[in-house]
Amino acid sequence: MSSVSSASARYDLPETDDFTRPYWDAAAEGRLLLRRCADCGRAHHYPREFCPYCWAGEERVAWEPASGRATLYTWSVIHRNDLPPFGTRVPYTAAVVDLAEGPRMMTEVVDRDPADLRIGMRLQVAFREAAEGVRVAVFRPDAA
């Protein structure tokens, strides 16, 4: 049983370990990383130690920088969320984006009225500070 009470838990912070540390360190620097398999050539997200497509092991899957470009696949405006700290951030736009490298990623769209969102619109990665030293990838409309 966890010693952290639900009143003080932060449900928006990652549980970093040795494997995911490169991802979160890059995010803290404003860079998005993906994993790519040397055997089948496919990129994936969320980070896994093996390829979810061909099951190649950790020695065949490596970190690589992502372009940060994406297209909007779907979204939902969240008006109520009782988990800390989301309740203080509502409404927000939860989304699924298709990264230029192929994988789909759950994220948040920022800096755009939800009424102006369109499936297929071009997005660019940005990073929101979730806690001191912790930044998470979010997406905003591409200015290009």
| Residue indicated by tokens 């755009």 | 112
pTM comes to 0.89
Give the mean pLDDT of the chain.
92
Whole-number percent of the chain with pLDDT over 90: 80
Using an 8 Å Cβ cutoff, are 119 and 73 in contact?
A: yes
Structure tokens at 97: 């984006």
d(CA 34, CA 97): 14
SS3 28: helix
| Residue pLDDT, tens place only, 74-116 | 999 999 998 888 888 899 999 999 999 999 999 999 999 999 9
